[in-house]
Structure formats: C-alpha cells, structure tokens
Chain A
Amino acid sequence: MTSPSEFLPLKPLHFLMLLALVDGDRHAYGIKKDLAARGDYRDVGPGTLYRSIAQLLEAGLIQDSGRRPATPLDDERRRYFALTALGRRVVVAEAERLEQLVRSARARKLLPSPFGT
C-alpha cells in the first residue's frame, strides 16, 4: 500500500484541488469555481487544470466518479471526479504537514497564538 507521505509536499494547486473534492464529487468547472471562490488561483486556465487533473488521476489520488447528475441541462460528456481513499489520506497528511509548519511559525511568535497566550 502506498504511503501518503510519498506524495508530500503537495503542490499548492493540487492540495486546493483535492480540498475542493472533499465535500463531494465535482467536474472540472466546479473545481475551478471552488478555487476561484476561495480566492486562490482566481483564474486557473483549462490547460493547467487538466494537466493537474491528469497528474492526480495518474497518481491515483482522484478517480472518475460514476455519478451523473440527473439534471437535463447537464452534458452527458461532462466528467465528474472523486477523491480516492488514498487521495483522502494524502490531503489529510498534507494538511497535518501544513499545520506542523504553522505551529512552528507560531512557536517563533510569527503569528498570534489562537488561544491568546
């Protein structure tokens, strides 16, 4: 079994894309909107997005979701993506790694402590 730590550190864009999928399956355009809504990567191009998707697919962090919403407006060809179990563990591991980093920044009084001490 692949260990999540092999994928760390994740590229920021990959991390944010995985985060976007935590709440549920999305298509590429949804991921793009999610990134934009968070204020990161406000205008990520289609090529950049799909290259990242290809890389995440290849690494097995995401997979094609079988889900097709029943809305008539939706295009048959639109692909939805879902986090794999590995992907979910990787995103958690990356979040922990980042938290670790933030914590060490706090220890050096770079950031105010969340508890006000």
Chain B
Amino acid sequence: MTSLRAAETAFRWVMRAYPASFRRAHGLALFELFRDEAREAYAARGSRGVLLAVVKAAGDTIENAPAAWHDSYRHRSPEALVSPADHRPRACDRRVGRLVHGLAHDVRLAIRRFRQAPAFTAVAVLMLAVGLGATTTVFSFMNAVLLRPLAERDPDRVVRVVARVGTGAVGAAARRFSYRDFVDYRERTTTVHELSGVNLATLLLTADNRTDQILGEIASGQYLALLGAHASQGRLLTALDDSPAAAPVVVISDAFWRRRFGGGPVVGERVWLNRMGYTIVGVAAPSVMGSFIAAPVDAWIPIESSGQALGVGWRQDRSQRTLAVLGRLRDGVTRVQAQTEMQTIAESLARDVAPYRHPEIDVLPGTLATGDQRRLATMFLSLLLGLVTLVLVIACANVGNLLLARVFGRRRELAVRLALGASRARLARMITVESLLLAAMGGIAALAIASSARGLFANISALPTLTLRLDVRPDMRVVAFAAAAALAAGTVLAVVGALHAMKPEIAPALKEESLGSMGSRSSMRLRGGLASVQVVVSLLLLVGAALFARSVQGAAAIDLGFDPTGVVVLDIDASGGRTNLESLATFESVLTRLEAVPQVQAAAMSSRAPLDSSTPLVRVSAQGPIARDVESDAPIASLLIVSPHFFDVVRTPVVLGRSFAQADDATRPPVAIVNETLAARLWPHGDALGRRVWVDATAMSAPSVVVGIARNAKYRTLGEEAQEHVYLPFAQQPRRGMALLVRSSGPPDRTIQTAQQTLQSIDSNLQGFFARTLQQHVDVSLLPVRFAAGLTSAIAACALAFAAVGLYSLVSFVVAERTSEIGLRMALGADQGAVLRLIIGAGMRLAAIGLAVGIPTAIVSSRLLSSLLYGVSPVDPAVFGAVTLVIVLVTFTACYLPARRAVRADPLTALRRS
C-alpha cells in the first residue's frame, strides 16, 4: 500500500502542471479519479500496476496541461453558460496562457517540421545526445569524486579537517592526525561537533570456521551518524560503543552481508575480528560506502575496541598520524571560523606538547577525495571534461551546420512568411524553439546515456579481488549539469540559426533563384568556419588519443628493474596471537617448505610486493640518528623489508657487495642494502659498501651497515623518477603482515594452490589473501594510462566521425546547391577531373585551414598531458604525422564521395532542374 500512497503524492505534484483555475475547479475530482484508477491497478497488478498508472497519468498530463492553459486563455464564458465565478481564470493565468499559447503553437510547428524531416531530426538529436552524454558522464564522475558530499544528512555542514603539510606521499600521510591529537582537538573545539576520526584497516574476520581478509573502517562512535547513514537492520555504532567499558561491536556493510552471510540473519551473531570476539549489531544501508575513495568498506568498528588493528601503540604515539578527521559545523558557524579556531588549537597544542610540530589546519568541505588524491582527480577529470566538451563543440558545430542548411533550404518559406507580414522576431523565435527542442531531446537522451554508462565504469576492477567503488548515480547536480549543457548547446544553435533566419533577402528568394545561387556569402563562410572548427577539434582529440596509445606502449617498455613474469603474490597476515618473532619463525618455515617443492625456483617474503604505491617512505641519513618530530632535510627513501631470496625471486641484481643471508638475523649487527640512486646520493664518492646508514621508523637507534648495492627499480609508481630505496632484512625487522612471493616454472594457479596448502599445513589459521600474479599486480599501475588511452581513443573516434559527417554533409549540400552550375560547366565541356578538383578543393581548403590552426594548438596544449605520459614526447613527430595523415584521408573521402556523385550526374538533367 505504500506504493499507492507514493503514487498519490507523485500525482499531486504532476497536477501542478495545470493552471490554478483548472485545479480549483477540478483538482479534487481529478485526484479522486486517479486514485480510483491507481487502486484498481494495484488490485490487478500490484505495485507495477500503480507505477504504470502514474506513468500514464503523467503522460496524460503532459498531453492535456498545455491545452488546459490554452482553454484558460481562451476562456470567455458567456453569461448564459453555467460557470461559477471562482472557476473563471485570473488575469495572471491568462497572461501565462497567452505566452503558453504562443509557445505551444511554435512547439507544435517545430514538431511537425521534425516529423517532416525525420533523418535530420534523428541525426541532430543523436549527435547532441553523444556530445551531451559524454560530458554528462564525465561530470557524474566529477560529481561522485569531488562534489558529492559524504554526508547524506545536512551535507553542507559536514567538513573535513586536514593538516596542511607539503605535498607528495609524505605530505599525504602527514595530513592525518594521531589519535591523541585528535582527542585534544575534539576536547577543545567549540565550533565543530561530532568530530570523528576514521581510518581504513585490513581485518581478519572469522565466522563459521572461515577466515577472510576484509576492509574495515576504524571510526569514532558517532562517525556513521555524522555521515547521516542508516541501518537497514539492527543499529549503527553510537558514541556509547566507543567507550573503554563497552562490549566490542561491529556494523557490517550491506554488500558484505550479502556476500559473506548470504543475506541471512546476522544481527546478534558473534564473529572474530583479528581473533577478538565482536557482536554484529547492525547492517548498514546499501548507500553507505565509507569515506575512502578506493575502498569498498565491509565493516565498521569503534576505535575503543579496535585493539591493534591500526598498529602497535598507535593510540599513545603522537607520531603515528593515522586518522582522517571529519566533523559537523555547529549552527551558525562558518568553515572559516572553524578553521581559525582549529588553527588556534593547533598552536596551543604545539606549546603544550613541544617539541612536537603542529601543522597548519584546513577545514574543507566534506567530499570523498582529499589532498593529493583530490588534486590528481581534479586534474584528470578536468582534462577529461575538457576533451568531451570538445566533442560537444563538434556536435554543436555539426548540428548548427545542419540547421543552417535547413534555414537556407527554407529561405523561400521564410521569405514568404516575411512578405506576408510575419515579424523577423517571430521567425527567430521559431528557430529558437526548434534549437531548444533539439537540445532538450539531446539532453534527455544524454541523461539516459550517462546513467547507463555508469555500469561500465562504476566497478573498475583493478584486481580480481579489488574493485574501486564509486557512487556515480546521477543526482540533482548531474541533472542540473545536463540541463545547463543542453541549454548552452541549444542557445548556441539558436543564436547561430536565428541570426541567419532574420536576414533572408526577400526579393531574390521569392523569385526562382538564379543560376548558381549559393545563399548569402556570409552564411557559407560561417558554415565553412564551423567545418574547420570540427577539423581542429578532432585533430586535438586524435593527438591526445595517439599520445596515450603510444604511452601504453611506452609504459610496457619501461624497465621495471625486476622481472614480474612467473611470480605469484599472496598477502599473509599472521597477527593472530603471535609476536613478531614467532611470526618470523612461521614465515621462515613456510619459505623452507615452499622452496622444497620441485617447480618452485625461489620464494621470499617482502613487506610489499614490488611496484606498490603503498610502499612506505622513510628518512635515511648517513650522518647520525634521525630525530623524531623534527623537520629534517634527510633524504627520503622507499623501504622494503625482505627475506634473503627476494632478489632471486624478483631478479633484481645486487650489483655490488652481497645479498642478505640467513645469517643476518637479530643476533648479528644490522645490515642494509641500498639501491644505486641512494648510494650515489648519500656517498657521492662511490664508497657506499661498509658505510653506516640510519633508517627512521625502524624503532632502532643503531645504524645498519650497507652490505650491498642493488640495481635501480620502480618501487612505488611506474612513472617515478630514479627513486632512493633501501632494503632491510626480514630476520632483523620481523613483521606479521608480509607479501609472499613465489617464483615457479608451473602455472600460476597451481603455484597459488601450492602456496595456500603450504600455509595451511604449517598453521590452519594461516592463509594467503589477494592471490595474484606479479604481472597482474604491476598492471594495476598501468590502469590509469590504459584507461586514459581507451577513453580518449573512443572520444577521438567519435569526434572524427562527427567531423567527417559534418564535412560530408556540407560538401553534399554545396554540390546539391550547385548542381545546375556543375551541369552547365560540364555541358560547356569541362572535364570530370576539373569539376572534381573544384569541389574537392573547396572541401579540402576547409580541412587545410583546420590543420593550420589545429597543429600549433595541439603542440601547445599537448604539453598539458606530459605528466600523464610515459616514454613519449608530447610533441612526438610520429604522432603528429599519423594524425595529420588520418585527417587528410578522412576529409578527402568525405569530400570525394559527394563530388563523384555530382560529376556522374547527367548534365542535361542538372541543367533542366534550374
């Protein structure tokens, strides 16, 4: 029955389309009638029937409301007729009615003309739909990543509090707050309430004798309420859950509930997270996705009962900046006021807990992406929006050209109308209505395209086990964007068309046109200009697409510094009740047993798989210990903790000195291996071997002795410049979470299976997660450039096709207009070649103008892409040559086809037509 009530509400809204006088007279009864119908539909077919009834009623309203306005305008009720006084339309209704009447008339005329030219209408709407659809799709991504507020409740008041510290990976980590800092801010702030800290953590969830690695958010109790989340079952976390005495509870996501628990009853169930017992108290609604961009969150647990999920001692150590902080502005407080207050708190904290350095504080709108992520996403998406806007420009130019051709074709009709006394403004209005109608149809189709395109991109899968989840459902912002874009496109078309419709020369048009009449010269110049613009734009897009395509090749050719083929990777977490040392023993026996398997060539542990953007960065020094919490200019190096055979598994050569050995354990002096870049940076004289290096964040003050220098490799991203890097031995730096790397001659599936069995045979609680080949792992880094290449190629192909169609239709039109001239020329003895050259020459001149403008523009603008390109110059001559060739070929074909048609026509027929 709720569907019935919803339908009634919907119909009440629909009824507003009628004039007030009509609603006063018949509104109630109309509503009753709808209700009768809806009830009957509900009885017969349930909610589907009701939906159908609403749709039908809406259609019926669209059909009748304009007529009702029309009636109310016409309404001149003679005294004799029964009509109670209050049913009579008011003056304002009548004014609106007159306007609606005129517009309705124009709309009807326009629709009739569209029906008379279905091909024109279809092509125009299709082109506008593709142009508007592409822009709307990209915008809906921008919306999801940059604009859509995280909070569903009162979104404008929810803010992110971030520390502003530099840029780059080090800066990104420092943007967060340590737990103790967070508590201090929470206690002192008066401008922001519900201040919540949150971070992602990998958790091991055990239920029904099975353990899975899941992603959870460790968050303050009021965090979910702050986001305005709702529970679909049970309840959400509350501030009470986040107190030391509270029993450990967990809320799980809707997706995880379906995936892991098969949608069965779970509220009140016991589960184990990192082998601590928790009670499931609720399932969050499907729309709750957490506040991290690349992370489909499976569970939420309060900070107080999170144990060591975020690290050892993270709640005491002010240097462990782990929490992202969100809060809600108190009523009447602006973001600037909150920021000023937070800054004051930061400064007083700096005094109280000196020498701890406190940063600048920013209070930002509460959206998904922050910091570097936001900067990158803004750059990439703006670029993309720019590209698809170019497609929209081409589409508009094309449709504009078609409209002009139609205006030209209708010049006799327009001239007759003018001669009969129609005002030029009225003609302009007619054209305007046509343009806006076309744009509106295009806009509606664009929304459909955008909402179906989200399926293509919504779950971009980086790895079989990891997906990027983005909520790209079109919301009001997206609809508004589509409407604005359609309006802009329509306005451009209307202005172009109306300007030309306003000046038909009456006398010549009324006479049957003279030989070779080409319309006004300015009109042809404008249409030629539009065609050239299309060539310019498709050239720009093609250059972008070709650069990205070359870049994919270039990226594949980049020397990784390691060999990803034949290696599988599994993440292992041995945190269950083990100390670091115990896990070391476990992992060593895993490696020993794996290496005994015949097909396994080598096996190793590493704190991260090679080429992983989450590889930690640390400060290193050749001079002395690195003081914590003090700004230092010590170089920053990426760090991997590896077992002895790591270099054999990934085949990175140790060029000087030795690799790690089994003997490098906790009882021996600490050792390290540095890469060539770090060695050259710290010891420019080339005597790195045997020197001492201090590595921050290793919780030890003793320096390590450099025993080897490894060949440079890519550590964090494919595009990184030569990066300083240091390796430490696993036996001296044991961890509980490691990546297991196995090089084997067997098929990857078999190797993964062998690895899992080996883990199980050592400890039934041990299992590998996110099993993948190292090649797959590396490919994740290639994803952005592959994505960009695919996308720009599609966009460019679209643009080129549009431009070809545009040029083709323009030349066809010219040929059709000049048929008699061509016939005359040929009758007088011009040969086919000369006529072909004449026509093709005219078309190619437009293409040449486009190239002359486009190539310099492309040379200047392709530099914008340079940061996204691998191994290819933004002004690559091969790319520019190939693109120019493609454009010349396509434009030539577009001109040749109609030209051939013209010369093949019988000169007599052509002459007779004039």
**Residues of A that sit less than 8 Å from B by CB:** 2, 27-29, 32, 43, 45-51, 53-55, 57-60, 63, 75, 77-79, 84
Best-buried of A55, A57, A63 by chain B (most CB within 10 Å): A57
> A46-B34, A54-B22 in contact; A79/B60 too (CB < 8 A)?
no
Q: Are A45 and B63 in contact (CB-based, < 8 A)?
A: yes
Is B60 a contact partner of A46 (Cβ separation < 8 A)?
yes
Q: Write 24 A-B pairs (CB below 8 A) sorted by A numbering.
A: A2-B80, A28-B33, A29-B32, A43-B56, A45-B56, A45-B57, A45-B59, A47-B63, A48-B60, A48-B64, A49-B33, A50-B22, A50-B26, A50-B29, A50-B30, A51-B68, A53-B26, A54-B25, A55-B71, A60-B81, A63-B82, A77-B32, A79-B29, A84-B82
- Size of the B side of the interface (Cβ < 8 Å), in residues, is 29
Distance from B467 Cβ to chain A, minimum over Cβ atoms (Å): 45
Q: Which residues of B contact A59 (CB under 8 A)?
A: 81
Q: Is B116's beta carbon under 8 Å from chain A?
A: no
Q: Is B618 engaged at the interface, CB distance under 8 Å to the other chain? A: no
Q: Is the CB–CB distance between B64 and A47 below 8 Å? A: yes
B77 on the interface (CB 8 Å rule)? yes
In the assembled complex, which residues on chain A have CB atoms less than 8 Å from the CB atom of B61?
45, 47
Task: With CB as the reference atom, state the residue of chain A lying closest to B59.
Answer: A45
List chain A residues, Cβ under 8 A from B33.
28-29, 32, 46, 49-50
Most buried by A among B18, B26, B37, B83: B26
Known interface pairs A47-B64, A60-B82; 13 further A-B residue pairs with C-beta atoms within 8 A, sorted by A's residue number: A2-B80, A29-B33, A43-B56, A45-B64, A47-B18, A47-B30, A47-B63, A50-B26, A51-B71, A54-B25, A54-B68, A55-B71, A79-B29
Set of chain A residues within 8 Å of B60, measured between Cβ atoms: 45-48
Residues of B within 8 A of A48 (CB): 60, 63-64
User: How far apart are the CA atoms of A84 and B32 in the complex, in Å?
Assistant: 24
Find chain A residues with CB under 8 A from B65 CB: 47
Residues of chain B within 8 A (CB-CB) of A77 are 28-29, 32
Task: Give chain A residues whose Cβ lies under 8 Å from the Cβ of B81.
Answer: 58-60
> Does B36 interact with chain A (Cβ within 8 Å)?
yes
User: 8 closest A-B pairs (Cβ-Cβ)?
Assistant: A45-B60, A47-B64, A47-B60, A46-B33, A29-B36, A50-B26, A60-B81, A28-B33
The residue among A29, A45, A46, A75 with the most chain B CB atoms within 10 A of its own CB is A46
Given contacts A2-B80, A29-B33, contact A54 B26 (CB under 8 A): yes
A58-B83 CB under 8 A given contacts A46-B30, A47-B64, A48-B63: yes
CB-nearest residue of chain B relative to A63? B82
Contact call B29/A58, Cβ cutoff below 8 A = no
A71 to B63, CA, bound (A): 35
**Residue pair B64, A51 in contact (C-beta under 8 Å):** yes
Mask: chain B, 13-31; 1 = CB below 8 Å from A; 0 = not:
0000010001001101110
Chain B residues within 8 Å of A, Cβ to Cβ: 18, 22, 25-26, 28-30, 32-34, 36-37, 56-57, 59-61, 63-65, 67-68, 71, 75, 77, 80-83
Given known contacts A51-B67, A51-B71, is B57 in contact with A58 (CB within 8 Å)?
no
- Output the least CB separation between B42 and chain A (Å): 15
> Across the interface, do A78 and B32 meet the contact criterion of CB distance under 8 Å?
yes
- Compute how far the CA of A85 lies from the CA of B82 in the bound complex, rounded to whole angstroms: 13
Which residues of chain B are within 8 angstroms of A29 by Cβ–Cβ distance? 32-33, 36-37
A79 CA to B34 CA, complexed, in Å: 14
- Measured between beta carbons, the chain B residues less than 8 angstroms from A53 are 26
Residues of B within 8 A of A43 (CB): 56
Cα separation A6 to B80 with both chains bound (whole Å): 14
Closest chain-A Cβ to B681's Cβ sits at a distance in Å of 78
Residues of A within 8 A of B36 (CB): 29
| Chain A contacts for B57, CB-based, 8 A | 45-47
Contact A75 B32 (CB under 8 A): yes
CB distance from A25 to the nearest CB of B (A): 14
Taking the closest CB of chain B, its distance from the CB of A3, in whole angstroms, is 12
A62 CA to B25 CA, complexed, in Å: 15
CA A78 to CA B36, docked complex, whole Å = 11
Give the residues in chain B near A51, CB-CB below 8 Å: 22, 64, 67-68, 71
| A45, A78, A84 — most chain B CB neighbours (10 Å) | A45
Residues of chain A contacted by B34 (CB below 8 angstroms): 46
Report how far A16 CA is from B32 CA in the complex, Å: 21
Residues of chain A lying within 8 A (CB to CB) of residue B67? 51
Among residues of B, the one whose C-beta sits closest to the C-beta of A47 is B64
Residue from B29, B67, B75, B80 whose CB has the most chain A CB atoms within 10 Å = B29
Distance between B388 CB and nearest chain A CB, rounded to angstroms = 39
Is the beta-carbon distance between A60 and B63 smaller than 8 angstroms?
no
Q: How far is the CA of A112 from the CA of B194 in the complex (A)?
A: 86
**B187 smallest CB distance to A (angstroms):** 60
Which one of A2, A28, A60 contacts B29 once the chains associate, using CB atoms below 8 Å? Answer: A28
Q: CA separation between A98 and B65, bound complex, in Å? A: 31
Residue in chain A with minimal CB distance to B64: A47
Residues of chain B lying within 8 A (CB to CB) of residue A45: 56-57, 59-61, 63-64
A80 to B61, CA, bound (A): 22
Quote the shortest CB–CB distance from B487 to chain A (angstroms). 28
Give A29 to B25 CA distance when docked, in angstroms: 17
Q: Output the least CB separation between A103 and chain B (Å).
A: 33
Q: Which residue, of B18, B33, B68, has the highest number of chain A Cβ atoms within 10 A?
A: B33
Which chain B residues border A60 with CB–CB below 8 Å? 80-82
User: CA separation between A32 and B281, bound complex, in Å?
Assistant: 53
| Minimum CB–CB distance for A71 against chain B, Å | 14
Point out the residues of chain A lying under 8 angstroms from B77, CB to CB.
58
Chain B residues in 8 Å Cβ range of A78: 29, 32
In the complex formed, the residue of A with least CB distance to B35 is: A75
How far does the alpha carbon of A70 sit from the alpha carbon of B80 in the complex, in Å? 33
Residues of B within 8 A of A75 (CB): 32
CB distance from B685 to the nearest CB of A (A): 90
Distance from A5 Cβ to chain B, minimum over Cβ atoms (Å): 16
Instruction: Report which residue of A49, A54, A79, A84 has the largest number of chain B beta carbons within 10 angstroms of its beta carbon.
Output: A54
Q: Chain A residue with minimal CB distance to B14?
A: A47
Closest approach, in angstroms, between the C-beta of A65 and any C-beta of chain B?
Answer: 12
Q: Which residues of A contact B83 (CB under 8 A)?
A: 57-58
A47 to chain B: which residues have CB within 8 Å? 18, 30, 57, 60-61, 63-65, 68
- On chain A, the residues within 8 Å of B26 by CB distance are 50, 53-54
Which residues of chain B are near A27, meaning CB under 8 Å? 29
What B residues does A49 contact at CB under 8 A?
A: 33
Q: How far is the CA of A51 from the CA of B61 in the complex (A)?
A: 10
Q: How far is the CA of A78 from the CA of B65 in the complex (A)?
A: 22
Q: Give complex CA distance A48, B28 in Å.
A: 15
Partner of B82, one of A28, A50, A57: A57
In whole angstroms, how far apart are the Cα atoms of A51 and B74 in the complex?
Answer: 14
Residues from chain A with Cβ under 8 Å of B56 in the complex: 43, 45
> A89 to nearest B CB, angstroms?
15
- B696 vs chain A, min Cβ distance (A): 74
Q: How close is A93's CB to chain B, nearest CB, in angstroms?
A: 18
> Least Cβ distance of B41 to chain A in Å?
11
Q: From A45, which residue of chain B is reached at the shortest CB distance?
A: B60
Cα–Cα distance between A47 and B33 once the two chains are bound (Å) = 10
CB distance from A78 to the nearest CB of B (A): 6
Q: Which residue of B lies closest to A64 (CB)?
A: B82
Bound state CA distance, A84 and B83, in angstroms?
14
Q: How far is the CB of B543 from chain A (nearest CB, A)?
A: 54
CB distance from B64 to the nearest CB of A (A): 4
Chain B contacts for A54, CB-based, 8 A: 22, 25-26, 68, 71
* Closest chain B CB from A39 CB (angstroms): 18
Q: Which residues of B contact A58 (CB under 8 A)?
A: 75, 77, 81-83
- How close is A8's CB to chain B, nearest CB, in angstroms? 17
A2 surroundings in chain B (CB, below 8 A): 80
Give the Cβ gap from A1 to chain B, nearest Cβ, in Å: 9
Across the interface, name the chain B residue whose C-beta is closest to A29: B36
Q: Nearest Cβ distance between residue A40 and chain B, in whole angstroms?
A: 17
> What's the Cα separation between A45 and B67 when bound, in Å?
14
Q: How far is the CB of B101 from chain A (nearest CB, A)?
A: 15
Nearest Cβ on chain B to A43's Cβ, whole angstroms: 7
State A17–B24 Cα separation when bound (angstroms): 22
- A100 to B77 CA separation, bound complex (whole angstroms): 32
